[in-house]
A and B are shown apart, each in its own frame.
Chain A
Amino acid sequence: MATFFDLQEKNRKKTRLIVVCFVLFFIWLGAGLDLTFFFWSGGAVQTAGQGYRHAYTPITPAGTSAAREKHFRPIFTIIVGLAGLGLAWWNMSHASSTLLSAMFARPADKRRSLEEQTLTNVVEEMCIASSIPPPKVWVIPDSDPNALAVGLNYGDYHIAVTEGLLRTLNRDELQGVVAHELAHLKNQDTRLMTAMTVLVGLAALISEYVGRSRFYRISTDAEDSKIGAVIFALWILSVLIASLATKLMALMVSREREYLADASAAQFTRNPEALAHALEKMASATSPTALVKPASAHLCIVSPTAADIDYSDENSWFATHPPIKARIYRLMTIGKPATGI
Protein backbone atom coordinates (compact mmCIF):
# COMPACT_ATOMS: atom_id res chain seq x y z
CA MET A 1 0.00 0.00 0.00
CA ALA A 2 1.40 3.36 -1.02
CA THR A 3 -0.15 5.69 1.54
CA PHE A 4 0.40 9.43 1.53
CA PHE A 5 2.36 9.10 4.77
CA ASP A 6 4.90 6.90 2.93
CA LEU A 7 5.15 9.38 0.07
CA GLN A 8 5.66 12.31 2.42
CA GLU A 9 8.38 10.51 4.34
CA LYS A 10 10.24 9.50 1.19
CA ASN A 11 10.11 12.99 -0.26
CA ARG A 12 11.21 14.60 2.98
CA LYS A 13 14.26 12.35 3.20
CA LYS A 14 15.37 13.15 -0.34
CA THR A 15 14.89 16.85 0.14
CA ARG A 16 16.87 16.80 3.38
CA LEU A 17 19.75 15.14 1.55
CA ILE A 18 19.69 17.75 -1.20
CA VAL A 19 19.65 20.62 1.26
CA VAL A 20 22.61 19.12 3.13
CA CYS A 21 24.53 18.91 -0.17
CA PHE A 22 23.72 22.57 -0.80
CA VAL A 23 25.03 23.66 2.56
CA LEU A 24 28.18 21.55 2.28
CA PHE A 25 28.86 22.99 -1.14
CA PHE A 26 28.71 26.53 0.12
CA ILE A 27 30.98 25.74 3.02
CA TRP A 28 33.39 24.24 0.47
CA LEU A 29 33.18 27.42 -1.58
CA GLY A 30 34.64 29.39 1.28
CA ALA A 31 36.80 26.68 2.80
CA GLY A 32 38.46 25.83 -0.53
CA LEU A 33 39.83 29.34 -0.79
CA ASP A 34 40.96 29.30 2.81
CA LEU A 35 42.72 25.94 2.46
CA THR A 36 44.44 27.10 -0.71
CA PHE A 37 45.80 30.19 0.94
CA PHE A 38 46.72 28.16 3.99
CA PHE A 39 48.94 25.80 2.01
CA TRP A 40 50.31 28.54 -0.22
CA SER A 41 51.20 30.77 2.65
CA GLY A 42 53.04 27.79 4.10
CA GLY A 43 55.12 27.81 0.91
CA ALA A 44 55.64 31.53 1.28
CA VAL A 45 57.23 31.06 4.69
CA GLN A 46 59.71 28.57 3.31
CA THR A 47 60.73 30.73 0.37
CA ALA A 48 60.59 34.01 2.15
CA GLY A 49 64.36 34.29 2.41
CA GLN A 50 64.64 34.27 -1.39
CA GLY A 51 62.49 37.33 -1.75
CA TYR A 52 59.03 37.89 -3.11
CA ARG A 53 59.28 36.23 -6.44
CA HIS A 54 55.86 34.63 -6.31
CA ALA A 55 53.19 36.54 -8.07
CA TYR A 56 50.47 35.16 -5.84
CA THR A 57 52.01 36.45 -2.65
CA PRO A 58 50.30 39.89 -2.70
CA ILE A 59 46.83 38.39 -2.67
CA THR A 60 47.64 36.12 0.25
CA PRO A 61 46.03 37.55 3.40
CA ALA A 62 48.77 39.22 5.40
CA GLY A 63 51.20 37.55 3.03
CA THR A 64 53.80 40.29 3.21
CA SER A 65 54.91 39.28 6.65
CA ALA A 66 57.96 37.11 6.04
CA ALA A 67 58.49 35.76 9.51
CA ARG A 68 54.94 34.84 10.35
CA GLU A 69 53.84 31.35 11.35
CA LYS A 70 51.34 29.06 9.74
CA HIS A 71 47.82 29.89 10.90
CA PHE A 72 44.66 28.53 9.46
CA ARG A 73 42.33 31.48 8.99
CA PRO A 74 38.80 30.65 7.83
CA ILE A 75 38.39 34.16 6.43
CA PHE A 76 36.65 33.19 3.21
CA THR A 77 34.53 30.56 4.89
CA ILE A 78 33.22 33.37 7.08
CA ILE A 79 32.91 35.90 4.25
CA VAL A 80 31.05 33.55 1.90
CA GLY A 81 28.86 32.39 4.78
CA LEU A 82 28.01 35.94 5.82
CA ALA A 83 27.34 37.03 2.25
CA GLY A 84 24.95 34.11 1.88
CA LEU A 85 23.23 35.01 5.12
CA GLY A 86 22.89 38.66 4.14
CA LEU A 87 21.45 37.89 0.73
CA ALA A 88 19.07 35.35 2.22
CA TRP A 89 17.87 37.82 4.84
CA TRP A 90 17.31 40.58 2.28
CA ASN A 91 15.36 38.32 -0.04
CA MET A 92 13.33 36.84 2.80
CA SER A 93 12.16 40.20 4.09
CA HIS A 94 10.96 41.43 0.70
CA ALA A 95 9.80 38.36 -1.18
CA SER A 96 6.02 38.02 -0.59
CA SER A 97 4.85 41.53 -1.38
CA THR A 98 7.22 41.92 -4.33
CA LEU A 99 6.06 38.68 -5.92
CA LEU A 100 2.34 39.33 -5.45
CA SER A 101 2.38 42.89 -6.72
CA ALA A 102 4.40 41.79 -9.75
CA MET A 103 1.49 39.50 -10.63
CA PHE A 104 -1.14 42.24 -10.16
CA ALA A 105 -2.86 40.10 -7.54
CA ARG A 106 -5.88 41.57 -5.74
CA PRO A 107 -7.39 40.28 -2.48
CA ALA A 108 -10.26 37.84 -2.90
CA ASP A 109 -13.60 39.25 -1.77
CA LYS A 110 -16.46 37.04 -0.54
CA ARG A 111 -19.11 39.51 -1.73
CA ARG A 112 -17.68 40.01 -5.18
CA SER A 113 -18.94 36.78 -6.72
CA LEU A 114 -20.07 33.29 -5.84
CA GLU A 115 -16.79 31.96 -7.21
CA GLU A 116 -14.73 34.03 -4.82
CA GLN A 117 -17.06 33.15 -1.96
CA THR A 118 -16.44 29.50 -2.77
CA LEU A 119 -12.70 30.15 -2.96
CA THR A 120 -12.50 31.75 0.48
CA ASN A 121 -14.69 29.00 1.93
CA VAL A 122 -12.56 26.27 0.39
CA VAL A 123 -9.40 27.89 1.73
CA GLU A 124 -10.88 28.00 5.23
CA GLU A 125 -12.02 24.37 5.01
CA MET A 126 -8.58 23.24 3.96
CA CYS A 127 -6.99 25.25 6.76
CA ILE A 128 -9.10 23.23 9.18
CA ALA A 129 -8.09 19.98 7.49
CA SER A 130 -4.40 20.88 7.48
CA SER A 131 -4.36 22.71 10.88
CA ILE A 132 -2.60 25.84 9.65
CA PRO A 133 -3.64 29.48 10.19
CA PRO A 134 -5.68 30.93 7.29
CA PRO A 135 -3.51 32.60 4.64
CA LYS A 136 -4.40 35.77 2.74
CA VAL A 137 -6.24 34.83 -0.43
CA TRP A 138 -5.46 36.62 -3.70
CA VAL A 139 -6.88 36.51 -7.20
CA ILE A 140 -4.63 37.05 -10.23
CA PRO A 141 -6.46 38.55 -13.22
CA ASP A 142 -5.21 35.96 -15.72
CA SER A 143 -7.39 33.64 -17.76
CA ASP A 144 -5.01 30.68 -17.64
CA PRO A 145 -5.79 28.31 -14.73
CA ASN A 146 -2.91 28.28 -12.26
CA ALA A 147 -2.29 28.73 -8.55
CA LEU A 148 0.64 29.48 -6.28
CA ALA A 149 1.59 29.94 -2.66
CA VAL A 150 3.96 32.53 -1.22
CA GLY A 151 5.05 32.82 2.37
CA LEU A 152 8.04 32.83 4.62
CA ASN A 153 6.92 32.68 8.21
CA TYR A 154 3.93 31.71 10.25
CA GLY A 155 1.55 34.64 9.78
CA ASP A 156 2.93 35.65 6.38
CA TYR A 157 1.07 33.10 4.29
CA HIS A 158 -0.45 33.91 0.89
CA ILE A 159 -2.34 31.86 -1.66
CA ALA A 160 -3.06 33.25 -5.12
CA VAL A 161 -5.21 31.68 -7.83
CA THR A 162 -5.98 32.96 -11.31
CA GLU A 163 -9.44 33.94 -12.45
CA GLY A 164 -9.15 31.23 -15.06
CA LEU A 165 -8.77 28.63 -12.32
CA LEU A 166 -11.98 29.78 -10.61
CA ARG A 167 -13.87 29.54 -13.88
CA THR A 168 -12.47 26.17 -14.95
CA LEU A 169 -12.58 23.98 -11.85
CA ASN A 170 -15.50 22.67 -9.86
CA ARG A 171 -15.60 22.85 -6.08
CA ASP A 172 -13.88 19.52 -5.39
CA GLU A 173 -11.09 20.24 -7.85
CA LEU A 174 -10.57 23.71 -6.43
CA GLN A 175 -10.35 22.08 -3.02
CA GLY A 176 -7.58 19.80 -4.28
CA VAL A 177 -5.60 22.72 -5.72
CA VAL A 178 -5.98 24.81 -2.57
CA ALA A 179 -4.94 21.82 -0.46
CA HIS A 180 -1.85 21.45 -2.65
CA GLU A 181 -0.90 25.09 -2.07
CA LEU A 182 -1.58 24.89 1.67
CA ALA A 183 0.65 21.82 1.78
CA HIS A 184 3.46 23.92 0.30
CA LEU A 185 2.94 26.43 3.10
CA LYS A 186 2.63 23.80 5.80
CA ASN A 187 5.79 21.99 4.69
CA GLN A 188 7.53 25.39 4.45
CA ASP A 189 8.27 24.73 0.79
CA THR A 190 7.81 28.37 -0.12
CA ARG A 191 10.45 29.24 2.41
CA LEU A 192 12.73 26.50 1.12
CA MET A 193 12.18 27.62 -2.46
CA THR A 194 13.12 31.19 -1.59
CA ALA A 195 16.27 29.89 0.06
CA MET A 196 17.02 27.84 -3.04
CA THR A 197 16.55 30.86 -5.27
CA VAL A 198 19.01 32.78 -3.12
CA LEU A 199 21.55 29.96 -3.28
CA VAL A 200 21.27 29.68 -7.04
CA GLY A 201 21.69 33.43 -7.38
CA LEU A 202 24.70 33.47 -5.12
CA ALA A 203 26.36 30.55 -6.88
CA ALA A 204 25.81 32.12 -10.28
CA LEU A 205 27.27 35.37 -9.02
CA ILE A 206 30.42 33.74 -7.64
CA SER A 207 30.80 31.54 -10.67
CA GLU A 208 30.57 34.49 -13.01
CA TYR A 209 33.00 36.57 -10.98
CA VAL A 210 35.61 33.83 -10.77
CA GLY A 211 35.18 33.01 -14.45
CA ARG A 212 35.91 36.59 -15.47
CA SER A 213 38.63 37.50 -13.03
CA ARG A 214 42.27 36.66 -13.67
CA PHE A 215 43.57 36.27 -10.18
CA TYR A 216 43.73 32.50 -10.35
CA ARG A 217 45.82 32.45 -13.52
CA ILE A 218 48.98 33.00 -11.55
CA SER A 219 51.70 30.45 -11.97
CA THR A 220 52.38 28.44 -8.86
CA ASP A 221 55.63 27.04 -7.68
CA ALA A 222 54.87 23.33 -7.71
CA GLU A 223 57.59 22.43 -5.23
CA ASP A 224 56.24 24.79 -2.63
CA SER A 225 52.56 24.19 -2.84
CA LYS A 226 51.46 21.03 -4.55
CA ILE A 227 48.57 20.42 -2.17
CA GLY A 228 47.54 24.05 -2.43
CA ALA A 229 47.54 23.86 -6.21
CA VAL A 230 45.44 20.71 -6.25
CA ILE A 231 42.92 22.13 -3.82
CA PHE A 232 42.77 25.37 -5.75
CA ALA A 233 42.23 23.55 -9.03
CA LEU A 234 39.39 21.55 -7.49
CA TRP A 235 37.92 24.70 -6.04
CA ILE A 236 38.01 26.53 -9.38
CA LEU A 237 36.40 23.58 -11.07
CA SER A 238 33.64 23.30 -8.52
CA VAL A 239 32.95 27.02 -8.57
CA LEU A 240 32.72 27.04 -12.35
CA ILE A 241 30.14 24.29 -12.37
CA ALA A 242 28.41 25.70 -9.28
CA SER A 243 25.88 27.72 -11.20
CA LEU A 244 24.71 24.76 -13.22
CA ALA A 245 24.81 22.33 -10.31
CA THR A 246 22.89 24.53 -7.90
CA LYS A 247 20.29 25.30 -10.54
CA LEU A 248 19.82 21.60 -11.19
CA MET A 249 19.57 20.87 -7.49
CA ALA A 250 17.07 23.67 -6.95
CA LEU A 251 14.94 22.30 -9.73
CA MET A 252 15.19 18.81 -8.30
CA VAL A 253 13.99 20.10 -4.94
CA SER A 254 11.18 21.93 -6.67
CA ARG A 255 10.04 18.78 -8.47
CA GLU A 256 10.19 16.65 -5.34
CA ARG A 257 8.21 19.29 -3.50
CA GLU A 258 5.43 19.15 -6.07
CA TYR A 259 5.03 15.42 -5.49
CA LEU A 260 5.05 15.95 -1.75
CA ALA A 261 2.43 18.69 -1.94
CA ASP A 262 0.26 16.44 -4.12
CA ALA A 263 0.54 13.70 -1.51
CA SER A 264 -0.30 16.12 1.32
CA ALA A 265 -3.27 17.46 -0.65
CA ALA A 266 -4.52 13.89 -0.89
CA GLN A 267 -4.20 13.59 2.87
CA PHE A 268 -6.12 16.82 3.52
CA THR A 269 -8.95 16.24 1.05
CA ARG A 270 -8.98 12.41 1.11
CA ASN A 271 -9.84 12.89 -2.54
CA PRO A 272 -6.74 12.51 -4.75
CA GLU A 273 -8.86 11.99 -7.87
CA ALA A 274 -10.21 15.55 -7.69
CA LEU A 275 -6.70 17.02 -7.74
CA ALA A 276 -5.80 14.67 -10.60
CA HIS A 277 -8.78 15.96 -12.57
CA ALA A 278 -7.80 19.54 -11.76
CA LEU A 279 -4.30 18.86 -13.09
CA GLU A 280 -5.80 17.39 -16.24
CA LYS A 281 -7.90 20.50 -16.77
CA MET A 282 -4.92 22.78 -16.16
CA ALA A 283 -2.86 20.75 -18.61
CA SER A 284 -5.52 21.01 -21.29
CA ALA A 285 -5.50 24.82 -21.00
CA THR A 286 -2.27 25.29 -22.90
CA SER A 287 -2.03 29.06 -22.94
CA PRO A 288 0.78 30.37 -20.72
CA THR A 289 0.06 32.18 -17.47
CA ALA A 290 1.29 35.52 -18.74
CA LEU A 291 1.29 37.37 -15.42
CA VAL A 292 3.61 34.90 -13.69
CA LYS A 293 7.24 35.68 -14.42
CA PRO A 294 9.67 32.86 -15.22
CA ALA A 295 11.54 33.56 -11.98
CA SER A 296 8.49 32.54 -9.96
CA ALA A 297 7.64 29.56 -12.15
CA HIS A 298 8.62 27.04 -9.51
CA LEU A 299 6.05 28.49 -7.11
CA CYS A 300 3.10 27.56 -9.33
CA ILE A 301 1.11 24.35 -9.16
CA VAL A 302 1.71 23.73 -12.86
CA SER A 303 4.39 25.35 -14.97
CA PRO A 304 3.17 28.75 -16.19
CA THR A 305 4.89 28.14 -19.51
CA ALA A 306 3.01 24.84 -19.88
CA ALA A 307 6.39 23.12 -20.20
CA ASP A 308 5.36 20.26 -17.94
CA ILE A 309 2.57 18.98 -20.14
CA ASP A 310 4.61 16.89 -22.48
CA TYR A 311 8.34 16.57 -22.17
CA SER A 312 10.63 13.60 -22.33
CA ASP A 313 13.08 12.36 -19.71
CA GLU A 314 16.11 14.10 -21.24
CA ASN A 315 15.16 17.68 -20.62
CA SER A 316 13.19 17.00 -17.47
CA TRP A 317 16.44 17.74 -15.59
CA PHE A 318 15.87 21.39 -16.40
CA ALA A 319 12.17 21.43 -15.62
CA THR A 320 10.65 23.29 -12.67
CA HIS A 321 7.81 20.78 -12.43
CA PRO A 322 7.48 17.02 -12.80
CA PRO A 323 5.50 15.88 -15.83
CA ILE A 324 1.78 16.31 -15.18
CA LYS A 325 1.16 12.78 -16.38
CA ALA A 326 3.48 11.37 -13.72
CA ARG A 327 1.76 13.44 -11.03
CA ILE A 328 -1.68 12.30 -12.15
CA TYR A 329 -0.49 8.71 -12.14
CA ARG A 330 0.86 9.01 -8.59
CA LEU A 331 -2.36 10.64 -7.40
CA MET A 332 -4.54 8.01 -8.98
CA THR A 333 -2.52 5.19 -7.40
CA ILE A 334 -2.50 6.59 -3.85
CA GLY A 335 -4.06 4.06 -1.51
CA LYS A 336 -4.02 1.40 -4.18
CA PRO A 337 -1.66 -1.59 -4.32
CA ALA A 338 1.80 -0.53 -5.50
CA THR A 339 2.56 -1.29 -9.11
CA GLY A 340 6.19 -0.25 -8.95
CA ILE A 341 6.36 3.35 -10.15
Chain B
Amino acid sequence: MVAFIVLLCIAAVIVLVLVSFYNRLIALKGQTANAWKQIDVQLKRRHDLIPNLINAAKGATQFEKETLDAVVSARNSAIKAGASAAPASVGQVAAAEGALTAALTRFIAVVETYPDLKATGNIRQLQEELSSTENRVSFARQAYNDTATEYNVAQRQFPTVLVAGIAGASQAQLWEIAEEADRAVPTVDLSMK
Protein backbone atom coordinates (compact mmCIF):
# COMPACT_ATOMS: atom_id res chain seq x y z
CA MET B 1 0.00 0.00 0.00
CA VAL B 2 2.80 2.38 0.97
CA ALA B 3 4.71 1.46 -2.17
CA PHE B 4 1.63 2.17 -4.23
CA ILE B 5 1.21 5.61 -2.71
CA VAL B 6 4.89 6.40 -3.25
CA LEU B 7 4.62 5.34 -6.89
CA LEU B 8 1.51 7.46 -7.29
CA CYS B 9 3.31 10.49 -5.87
CA ILE B 10 6.27 9.99 -8.18
CA ALA B 11 3.93 9.68 -11.16
CA ALA B 12 2.11 12.87 -10.14
CA VAL B 13 5.39 14.78 -9.87
CA ILE B 14 6.50 13.56 -13.28
CA VAL B 15 3.22 14.62 -14.85
CA LEU B 16 3.42 18.07 -13.24
CA VAL B 17 6.97 18.55 -14.48
CA LEU B 18 6.00 17.52 -18.01
CA VAL B 19 3.07 19.94 -17.92
CA SER B 20 5.41 22.79 -17.00
CA PHE B 21 7.72 21.92 -19.91
CA TYR B 22 4.72 21.83 -22.21
CA ASN B 23 3.55 25.23 -20.97
CA ARG B 24 6.97 26.72 -21.51
CA LEU B 25 6.99 25.58 -25.12
CA ILE B 26 3.47 26.88 -25.74
CA ALA B 27 4.39 30.24 -24.19
CA LEU B 28 7.46 30.50 -26.43
CA LYS B 29 5.34 29.61 -29.46
CA GLY B 30 2.93 32.43 -28.64
CA GLN B 31 5.76 34.89 -28.08
CA THR B 32 7.30 33.96 -31.43
CA ALA B 33 4.00 34.52 -33.26
CA ASN B 34 3.56 37.83 -31.46
CA ALA B 35 7.07 38.99 -32.35
CA TRP B 36 6.34 38.17 -35.98
CA LYS B 37 3.19 40.34 -35.95
CA GLN B 38 5.20 43.13 -34.35
CA ILE B 39 7.31 43.36 -37.51
CA ASP B 40 4.14 43.95 -39.55
CA VAL B 41 3.02 46.67 -37.15
CA GLN B 42 6.30 48.52 -37.53
CA LEU B 43 6.33 48.16 -41.34
CA LYS B 44 2.85 49.70 -41.46
CA ARG B 45 4.05 52.56 -39.28
CA ARG B 46 6.82 53.20 -41.76
CA HIS B 47 4.42 53.24 -44.72
CA ASP B 48 2.17 55.71 -42.93
CA LEU B 49 5.02 58.05 -42.14
CA ILE B 50 6.30 58.46 -45.69
CA PRO B 51 3.54 60.81 -47.03
CA ASN B 52 4.37 63.31 -44.24
CA LEU B 53 8.01 63.11 -45.13
CA ILE B 54 7.35 63.72 -48.81
CA ASN B 55 5.14 66.72 -48.08
CA ALA B 56 7.74 68.32 -45.85
CA ALA B 57 10.50 67.78 -48.40
CA LYS B 58 8.38 69.09 -51.29
CA GLY B 59 8.14 72.41 -49.51
CA ALA B 60 11.85 72.91 -50.02
CA THR B 61 12.66 74.25 -53.46
CA GLN B 62 14.67 72.30 -55.98
CA PHE B 63 14.56 69.09 -54.02
CA GLU B 64 15.69 66.21 -56.19
CA LYS B 65 12.56 64.84 -57.74
CA GLU B 66 13.84 61.38 -58.61
CA THR B 67 14.80 60.70 -54.99
CA LEU B 68 11.26 61.49 -53.86
CA ASP B 69 9.77 59.44 -56.67
CA ALA B 70 11.96 56.51 -55.78
CA VAL B 71 10.75 56.63 -52.18
CA VAL B 72 7.10 56.90 -53.25
CA SER B 73 7.26 54.03 -55.72
CA ALA B 74 9.22 51.84 -53.30
CA ARG B 75 6.59 52.52 -50.66
CA ASN B 76 3.75 51.63 -53.01
CA SER B 77 5.31 48.35 -54.09
CA ALA B 78 6.08 47.51 -50.45
CA ILE B 79 2.43 48.08 -49.50
CA LYS B 80 1.31 45.97 -52.47
CA ALA B 81 3.67 43.15 -51.46
CA GLY B 82 2.42 43.38 -47.89
CA ALA B 83 -1.25 43.28 -48.92
CA SER B 84 -0.81 40.06 -50.88
CA ALA B 85 1.22 38.54 -48.10
CA ALA B 86 0.45 34.87 -48.05
CA PRO B 87 2.97 33.03 -45.91
CA ALA B 88 4.76 31.93 -49.07
CA SER B 89 5.49 35.51 -50.14
CA VAL B 90 7.61 36.43 -47.11
CA GLY B 91 10.57 36.68 -49.46
CA GLN B 92 8.68 39.18 -51.65
CA VAL B 93 7.78 41.35 -48.67
CA ALA B 94 11.37 41.28 -47.49
CA ALA B 95 12.61 42.29 -50.94
CA ALA B 96 10.11 45.16 -51.30
CA GLU B 97 10.88 46.44 -47.79
CA GLY B 98 14.57 46.17 -48.55
CA ALA B 99 14.09 48.38 -51.61
CA LEU B 100 12.17 50.89 -49.50
CA THR B 101 14.96 50.95 -46.94
CA ALA B 102 17.47 51.66 -49.68
CA ALA B 103 15.32 54.48 -51.10
CA LEU B 104 14.88 56.04 -47.65
CA THR B 105 18.58 55.78 -46.97
CA ARG B 106 19.27 57.72 -50.19
CA PHE B 107 16.60 60.24 -49.21
CA ILE B 108 18.24 60.89 -45.84
CA ALA B 109 21.61 61.18 -47.52
CA VAL B 110 20.17 63.83 -49.85
CA VAL B 111 18.56 65.72 -46.96
CA GLU B 112 21.94 65.83 -45.25
CA THR B 113 23.35 67.72 -48.28
CA TYR B 114 20.69 70.45 -48.05
CA PRO B 115 21.69 72.62 -45.10
CA ASP B 116 18.55 74.78 -45.43
CA LEU B 117 16.30 71.76 -45.42
CA LYS B 118 18.19 70.15 -42.58
CA ALA B 119 17.94 73.29 -40.49
CA THR B 120 14.16 73.34 -40.71
CA GLY B 121 12.69 72.17 -37.44
CA ASN B 122 9.95 70.33 -39.23
CA ILE B 123 12.25 68.21 -41.35
CA ARG B 124 14.49 67.47 -38.39
CA GLN B 125 11.54 66.15 -36.47
CA LEU B 126 10.50 64.05 -39.44
CA GLN B 127 14.03 62.83 -39.86
CA GLU B 128 14.02 61.78 -36.21
CA GLU B 129 10.73 59.96 -36.76
CA LEU B 130 12.20 58.30 -39.82
CA SER B 131 15.35 57.06 -38.06
CA SER B 132 13.17 55.88 -35.23
CA THR B 133 10.92 54.00 -37.62
CA GLU B 134 13.86 52.36 -39.33
CA ASN B 135 15.17 51.35 -35.91
CA ARG B 136 11.78 50.00 -34.89
CA VAL B 137 11.62 47.80 -37.97
CA SER B 138 15.06 46.37 -37.38
CA PHE B 139 14.50 45.96 -33.63
CA ALA B 140 11.21 44.19 -34.30
CA ARG B 141 13.08 41.76 -36.56
CA GLN B 142 15.80 41.34 -33.97
CA ALA B 143 13.25 40.65 -31.24
CA TYR B 144 11.56 38.13 -33.52
CA ASN B 145 14.85 36.38 -34.21
CA ASP B 146 15.74 36.32 -30.50
CA THR B 147 12.37 34.86 -29.55
CA ALA B 148 12.36 32.38 -32.42
CA THR B 149 15.89 31.23 -31.50
CA GLU B 150 14.84 30.64 -27.91
CA TYR B 151 11.81 28.69 -29.16
CA ASN B 152 13.89 26.64 -31.59
CA VAL B 153 16.53 25.83 -29.00
CA ALA B 154 13.94 24.84 -26.39
CA GLN B 155 12.40 22.38 -28.84
CA ARG B 156 15.65 20.49 -29.22
CA GLN B 157 16.99 20.88 -25.72
CA PHE B 158 16.51 18.34 -22.97
CA PRO B 159 14.10 18.22 -21.11
CA THR B 160 11.66 20.28 -23.19
CA VAL B 161 12.42 18.05 -26.20
CA LEU B 162 10.39 15.32 -24.46
CA VAL B 163 7.13 17.20 -24.96
CA ALA B 164 7.96 19.02 -28.21
CA GLY B 165 5.87 16.54 -30.19
CA ILE B 166 2.80 16.90 -27.96
CA ALA B 167 3.09 20.70 -28.01
CA GLY B 168 3.11 20.64 -31.80
CA ALA B 169 6.34 22.60 -31.87
CA SER B 170 8.09 23.18 -35.16
CA GLN B 171 11.22 25.14 -35.97
CA ALA B 172 10.45 28.82 -36.63
CA GLN B 173 12.21 30.43 -39.56
CA LEU B 174 14.56 33.28 -38.74
CA TRP B 175 14.42 36.59 -40.59
CA GLU B 176 17.48 36.74 -42.74
CA ILE B 177 18.78 39.27 -45.21
CA ALA B 178 18.31 37.70 -48.63
CA GLU B 179 19.90 40.27 -50.88
CA GLU B 180 23.64 40.53 -51.04
CA ALA B 181 23.28 44.30 -51.49
CA ASP B 182 21.48 44.64 -48.15
CA ARG B 183 24.35 42.99 -46.40
CA ALA B 184 26.68 45.77 -47.42
CA VAL B 185 27.11 48.35 -44.69
CA PRO B 186 25.59 51.68 -45.79
CA THR B 187 28.05 54.53 -45.73
CA VAL B 188 25.45 57.10 -44.66
CA ASP B 189 25.77 58.71 -41.25
CA LEU B 190 22.33 58.52 -39.65
CA SER B 191 23.32 59.82 -36.24
CA MET B 192 21.44 62.89 -35.13
CA LYS B 193 24.38 64.63 -33.51
Contacts and interface: CB of A to CB of B under 8 A. Distances in A.
Contacts of A175: 135
Contact of A170 (B121, B128, B139, B191): B191
Nearest to B147: A131
Main secondary structure of the interface of B (DSSP, over half): helix
B129 A128 contact: no
Contacts of B139: 125-126, 128-129, 268
B84 to A, nearest CB: 25
A57 B78 CA distance: 85
Nearest to B192: A171
Interface string A288-326: 000000000000000000000000000000000000000
A118 interface: yes
Contact of A131 (B31, B128, B191, B193): B31
Contacts of A172: 191
Main secondary structure of the interface of A (DSSP, over half): helix
A171 B127 CA distance: 13
Contacts of B124: 114
Contacts of A267: 146
B142 interface: yes
A122 B132 CA distance: 7
A73 interface: no
Interface in A116-166: 117-118, 121-122, 124-126, 128-131
Given A121-B132, A122-B132, A128 B38 contact: yes
A270 B142 CA distance: 9
A129 B128 contact: no
A130 B125 CA distance: 25
Contact of A171 (B31, B131, B146): B131
A117 to B, nearest CB: 6
A124 B132 contact: yes
A118 B192 contact: yes
A128 B192 contact: no
A131 B132 contact: no
Interface in B113-165: 121, 124-125, 128-129, 131-132, 135-136, 139-140, 142-143, 146-147
Contacts of B146: 267
Given A128-B42, A170-B193, A114 B128 contact: yes
Nearest to B39: A128
A175 B128 CA distance: 13
Contacts of A122: 132
A97 to B, nearest CB: 29
9 contacts: A114-B125, A114-B128, A117-B125, A117-B129, A125-B136, A126-B139, A128-B140, A129-B142, A170-B193
Q: 3 closest pairs, A vs B, by CB?
A: A121-B132, A129-B139, A170-B193
Given A124-B136, A129-B143, 14 more contacts: A114-B121, A114-B124, A118-B128, A118-B132, A121-B128, A121-B132, A126-B139, A128-B136, A131-B143, A131-B147, A170-B192, A170-B193, A171-B192, A172-B191
